[in-house]
Amino acid sequence: MGILANHLYAQAMSPRTHLHTSGELVGTPISLSEGKAVVELVLRDDMRVDQTGLVHGGFVFGLADYAAMLAINEPTVVLGSAEVRFVAPVVVGARLIAEAEALPPAGKKRAVQVRVLLGEQVVLSGSFVCFVPSAHVLTKSPAKETP
């Protein structure tokens, strides 16, 4: 993908989705442009699962998911499914970079390719399927009248 090299940390767009996301838990955007996002996460001590400093994969997945959402960058985007592969373990103190690139839209369905890097090493790669509904998923639809 090479998104990071192409963007040189320049933020061409502002986030329009997931505006209350915790940067400490799933990362901070460092580059955002049409259909592409780069997000950084420094792994903290409270993410560890054991005495070796191994970090739970859920935090790495959360970083990848957040990058996918930002690549779509629609206010109502939600994750439908993901197929990921954890390639290498990560430890407390590591600085991870997620690169996400959206494929051309197919109606409300959007596919996004994501990889998470530790330096030059890929630690997670995946395909995310997102949806962009016309209203927020928690918006209640009006009750239907019965005759």
The domain spans of the chain are 3-131
CB 99 within 8 A of CB 117: yes
Minimum mean pLDDT among 37-41, 54-58, 104-108: which range?
104-108
pTM of the model: 0.85
Burial label, 111 (beta-carbon count in 10 A; 0-12, 13-18, 19+)? middle
Report the 10 Å Cβ neighbour count for 11.
Answer: 13
CB 130 within 8 A of CB 72: yes
What CATH code is assigned to 3-131?
A: 3.10.129.10
Rounded-to-integer distance, Cα 90 and Cα 59, Å: 10
Mean pLDDT, rounded, for 14-34: 87
